[in-house]
Amino acid sequence: MKIYRQVLLFCLIGWISFVGAAEVGVTDTSVAIGMTSPFTGPNGAYGTDMRDVISAYFRQINDAGGINGRKLELIALDDGYETDRAVANTKALINDKKVFAMVASYGSSPTTAAMNDAFGPAKVPLIGTISGADSIRQSAKDNPNNRYMFNVRASYANETEAIVNQLVGLGLKNIAVFYQNDGFGKSGLEGVITALKKHNQAPIAVATVERNSLDVAPAVQTIIKANPQAVVMVTLYKPTAEFARQMRKANQHPQLMTLSPVGADLLVKELGDDARGIGISQVMPYPWNDTIPLVRDYQKLLGKQGKFSYYGVEAFAMAKLLADAIRISGKDLSREKLIHTLEGLQNYDLGGYRVSYSANDRLGSRFVDLTVIGNGGRVLR
């Protein structure tokens, strides 16, 4: 009897150890994935588009039996594009909702703060964010929290260099910058300055607008005084649209260029025909080109009645990368195993769009494409 009790106790200890070793957010039947993005407020359309695409993709996977027998569960919280809320949401998702990993965050300042104060210290990987800031692209040697950030898009430095090279190549020399006063805008401003310096130039004027504000009148006056040939706008769609309106109302018609986070479809919806001629750098394949497998699968997911967008393609790429990495990691899933899997993806093909990582590289992609808004609001390449 004594031996029997000892054996039983040993088995019980082993079972408790096994249960205790189970990864947070992972059960025999599910994997919990967290997301914080703006679903309300001036930029709510961005996050809503991403959430809807990711939810649809997870449903598609789950309807087909899940990944290694587990279904993907998305838990999404609204941060309104506010840094404090994004950090609080990330902590709540990790500590209260017990998510396994994060996906599709939004914004440079919110993501950087969440990385340094929440998911980085908690050692929870985040796959994809709408940000090209250098602050989330450092080596893990420089910032250990960067180990848990896996970027899927090119950097703002990549985008601004492509824009500046295009403008200078057209013979333009008087280039101004209108930027958002936060991590996104400052990173873009730095990118423009760096790119212009390579051509022995500098911005002839710099003006700013506060985050979630449409008070662009002072910036317009500053830019007008410089009489630029082109203006690079590192802003989101509402302040971008308001800036363009006021510039044209003042009978000023420089070439206007902006970066991918603006959202071409939203800018067209906001400006109408006045959006024609605005140039936009893009970091994803053209959403209407179904010859690219990633785009074709995205279009198929949304169906014939779906409204295609660059944000939608990017969300699909993020979700697909996460799902593929979970699948490759196998049945015995853990955060460390997922990180190791992602670090081993070199020139990984998501379907005509490739990403690469290593132990100290979280850049993901350097793909940039330049587009312009044409007649009827159509995005042209």
Work out the angle at residue 337's Cα, subtended by the Cα atoms of residues 331 and 339, and round it to the nearest 5 degrees: 135
CATH architecture assigned to 30-153+290-364: 3-Layer(aba) Sandwich (3.40)
Tell me the mean pLDDT in the region 163-177: 97
Q: Tens digit of pLDDT for each residue in 329-360? A: 999 999 999 999 999 999 999 999 999 999 98
Residue 20 has pLDDT above 70, yes or no: no
Residue 187's pLDDT is what?
95
Give yes or no for a contact between 57 and 323, defined as CB atoms under 8 angstroms apart.
Answer: yes
In Å, how far from its chain's centre is CA 191?
18
pLDDT in tens, 148-159: 999 999 999 999
Residues 6+ apart with CB under 8 A from 35: 50, 51, 54, 74, 75, 76, 77, 93, 102, 103, 104, 105
The domain ranges of the chain are 30-153+290-364, 156-282
pLDDT at 221 over 50: yes
pLDDT, tens digit (0-9, with 9 covering 90-100), for 185-214: 999 999 999 999 999 999 999 999 999 899
75 bridge partner residues: 34
For 309, counting Cβ atoms within 10 Å of its Cβ (0-12 exposed, 13-18 middle, 19+ buried), the class is buried
Q: For 290-340, how does the pLDDT look when each residue is reduced to its tens digit (9 = 90+)?
A: 999 999 999 999 998 889 999 999 999 999 999 999 999 999 999 999 999
CA distance 95 to 90: 8
Residue 305 to residue 143: CA distance in whole angstroms: 44
Half-sphere exposure of 239 (CA within 13 A, CB side): 27
Q: Per residue in 217-238, is it b (16+ CB within 10 Å) or e — as a string?
A: eebbeebbebebbbbbbbbbbb
Q: Do domains 30-153+290-364 and 156-282 have the same CATH topology?
A: yes
Only one residue has tokens 């196998």, namely 330
> Tokens 């936060």 belong to which residue?
182
pTM of the model: 0.90
Compute φ and ψ for 374, nearest 5 degrees.
-100, -160
One of 3.40.800.10, 3.40.50.300, 3.40.50.2300, 2.40.10.220 is the CATH number of 156-282, namely 3.40.50.2300
Residue in 209, 123, 133, 224 with CA at minimum distance from that of residue 176: 224
Distance of CA 153 to the CA centre of its chain: 7
Q: Kindly calculate the radius of gyration of the chain based on its CA atoms and give it in whole angstroms.
A: 23
